[in-house]
Amino acid sequence: MRIDCLQYANWSEKIFRQMREGDVDAVHVTIAYHETFRETVLNFERWNRWFERYPDLILKGSTAVDIDLARETGRTAIFFGFQNPSPIEDDIGLVEIVHTLGARFMQLTYNNQSLLATGCYETEDTGITRMGRQVIKEMNRVGLVVDMSHSADRSTIDAADLSERPIAITHANPYEWAPALRNKKDDVIRAVTENGGMLGFSLYPHHLRNKSDCTLTDFCAMIALTADTFGTAHLGIGSDLCQDQPDSVVEWMRTGRWTKDIDYGEGSAAAPGFPPMPAWFKDNRDFGNIEDGLRAVGMSPDEVEGIMGGNWYRFFAENFGPAP
């Protein structure tokens, strides 16, 4: 089983077919960055047209059972998430609405301070806000997973402790392996995993040691070391693949509506666009390279199976429905 818990590609029939060539059973797709509720609804509508146009390649995922259906019929299940709470605007009532539309993950921040929590680029981290506490409770009730991938340390630990259901860091790596504002320190990973949550390893070059030149062996050795430290059961892949996106999109991702300047984030003024992916992971057809790499660094077949998809499958099965 292969599950990727974060992609934001420039979607096309080519990419959908590459998913099938790579035997990718499910993908968590970012359907909103800075969009309002109405703009996000239009993104759902666009995906509905893709589901109608390519029914032999993709299907809409709501629960883990849809992954079983995708595997049985040779398709990829698409699950939706937000990288910002902007789709719920300032209205807690929209949490249930977006879940009904198909959202299954929502980040409480995207780099900046939000109404709910502090982003990883802020100087001061004040933790989860009053509204954030209430939104987490509502997300727990309906089955919308709390995602803290772009959140600051205290806010992430607070969320892991406050949430009555496990939370996720869908796409990041250990800070000690590759120091970057978006990567997570050991105490943050521990808080998430000890509360039953998941960490998805990112292949976005700014999150990797040596960036685009990161080797497969180094990446897989990092996963093995993380498994030794935090246990294998709470680890998966969240590639953060942004395939075929123009460089203008990464500027919009970083800048959104909050500034008139271009915010280069973890990039630089000299290279503001998307960095080249590592040679061993260009697109969805390359997940087999990660499997081979994990086996090469000594991980068992069961451990590899869990990291490549089994652990996310279990997490989906337990957390996408209403609270028990």
CA distance 108 to 260: 23
Q: Do 8 and 81 form a contact (C-beta atoms < 8 A)?
A: no
Residue 22: Cβ within 10 Å count: 17
CA distance 13 to 17: 6
DSSP state of 63: S
Q: What are phi and psi of 242, to 5 degrees?
A: -115, 50
Residue ranges covered by each domain of the chain:
3-319
Burial of 27 (0-12, 13-18, 19+ CB in 10 A): buried
Q: What is the pLDDT of residue 268?
A: 45
pLDDT per residue as tens, the chain (324 positions): 999 999 999 999 999 999 999 999 999 999 999 999 999 999 999 999 999 999 999 999 999 999 999 999 999 999 999 999 999 999 999 999 999 999 999 999 999 999 999 999 999 999 999 999 999 999 999 999 999 999 999 999 999 999 999 999 999 999 999 999 999 999 999 999 999 999 999 999 999 999 999 999 999 999 999 999 999 999 999 999 999 988 888 787 878 888 888 766 554 444 567 889 999 999 999 999 999 999 999 999 999 999 999 999 999 999 999 988
Domain topology for 3-319: TIM Barrel (3.20.20)
Which is nearest to 211 in space by CA: 276, 166, 155, 167? 276
Q: What is the pLDDT of residue 269?
A: 44
The beta-strand segments (E) located in the chain are: 3-7, 26-32, 58-60, 76-82, 103-107, 145-147, 168-169, 198-201, 235-237
Q: What is the pLDDT of residue 227?
A: 98
DSSP state of 111: S
- What tokens appear for 272 in the block? 């503001």
Helix (H, G, I), strand (E, B) or coil at 73: helix
Look at the alpha carbons of 219, 225, 229, 235 in this order and tell me if their dihedral is positive or negative: positive
Q: What is the pLDDT of residue 270?
A: 46
Cα-based distances in Å from 285 to 14, 21, 60, 178, 289: 11, 6, 21, 25, 9
pTM here is 0.95
Tokens 């146009």 belong to residue: 53
CA distance 295 to 95: 41
Q: What is the pLDDT of residue 272?
A: 66
